[in-house]
Amino acid sequence: MSTTTDTTPSLIELKIDAGIATLTLNRPEKRNAITDGMRSDFITALEKIGADNTVRALVLTGAGKGFCAGGDVAGMQRRMDAPAGEVGFNGWSRQQRVHHSVSLLHTMPKPVIAAVNGGANGLGADMAMACDFVLASDAASFAWSYIKRGLIPDGGGMYFLPRRVGLSRAKELIFTGRKVEPDEALKLGIVDRVTSAQNLLADAHAWATELSQGSAAAIALGKSILNQSFESPAEQVFAKGSQAQGICYTTQQHRDAVLAFLNAGKEKAA
């Protein structure tokens, strides 16, 4: 199995092995808190993964003891020190980048697993929720801690969290900002699986491989429709499904699978 490594920029590490991309937030001394420059590099890496047809799935994780501590507090200080007339527009501009990065995770046309190795706080918790699946180590924790900074979730938490845990529970977690340990996170539906810290990446890669064995076209099309299914009326979902199925009919994966099934039947009959 070949392995390719992209070592620049250093705060975002991308490794691709046997069709599985691993994207690591690499600022362990700050529990991988996201700076504006780091976010730009993160966006670049996500766009690269999305466009690479040799990549079948993505695993997102953090270096060191934390998954992601959220937004960089030093950046918050700089924003507060800006001239009063610029604070609002600067904040809006930054939010566009935050939303773009989260949207790239959410709409990635292949399975995405958050391998949460430690604390996922604020934006870090939102980023995990933007992934298709969440695998937590026994050292992980989650906290929508924005309220402790006088803020609301800005990384998609107000969209993703209610869909995982229900509206009233999401309000409770967001209004209190309390920490959720792995066992409770599993019970609430914040995470899908819990494993040991030692096995986290191996289990994430094995799961990513399992999830991505099927037709890449069928996975991408199915995911795009499923992501909209809560907001779309049934007829619209059916219509999108019909269109996507028409595309699937034309793919080589569909043709090869049907012919293999028919040939296997002929051999059994003979």
Which residues does residue 116 pair with via DSSP β-bridges, in sequence order? 136
Domain coordinates in residue numbering, the chain: 3-211, 216-269
- Do residues 133 and 228 make contact, with C-beta atoms less than 8 angstroms apart? no
Q: Using DSSP, state whether 11 is helix, strand or coil.
A: coil
Structural tokens at position 88: 């609002």
DSSP string, 191-238: -SEEE-TTTHHHHHHHHHHHHTSS-HHHHHHHHHHHTTTTTS-HHHHH
Please give the Cα distance from 104 to 27 (Å, whole number).
Answer: 21
- Which pLDDT score, from 0 to 100, does residue 87 have? 75
Please give the Cα distance from 5 to 168 (Å, whole number).
Answer: 43
**Which tens digits make up the pLDDT trace of 199-245?**
999 999 999 999 999 999 999 999 999 999 999 999 999 999 999 99
Give the closest residue to 214 by CA, choosing from 28, 56, 91: 56
Please give the Cα distance from 58 to 49 (Å, whole number).
Answer: 8
**Which tens digits make up the pLDDT trace of 161-192?**
999 999 999 999 999 999 999 999 999 999 99
DSSP string, 158-182: HHHHHHHH-HHHHHHHHHH---B-H
How many CA atoms lie less than 13 Å away from 110 in the CB half-sphere? Answer: 27
- Which pLDDT score, from 0 to 100, does residue 9 have? 46
Structural tokens at position 21: 């991309």
Quote the pTM value.
0.91
How many angstroms separate the Cα of 100 from the Cα of each of 43, 127, 210?
Answer: 8, 12, 28
Domain 3-211 - what CATH class?
Answer: alpha beta
| CATH tag for 216-269 (out of 1.20.120, 1.25.40, 1.10.12, 3.30.56) | 1.10.12
**Which tens digits make up the pLDDT trace of 27-74?**
999 999 999 999 999 999 999 999 999 999 999 999 999 999 998 766
**Which tens digits make up the pLDDT trace of 61-102?**
999 999 999 987 666 666 666 677 777 777 778 889 999 999
- Which pLDDT score, from 0 to 100, does residue 268 have? 79
**Which tens digits make up the pLDDT trace of 103-138?**
999 999 999 999 999 999 999 999 999 999 999 999
Please give the Cα distance from 113 to 193 (Å, whole number).
Answer: 11
> Which residue is it, tokens 């999401």?
170
Give the closest residue to 103 by CA, choosing from 182, 95, 219, 166: 95
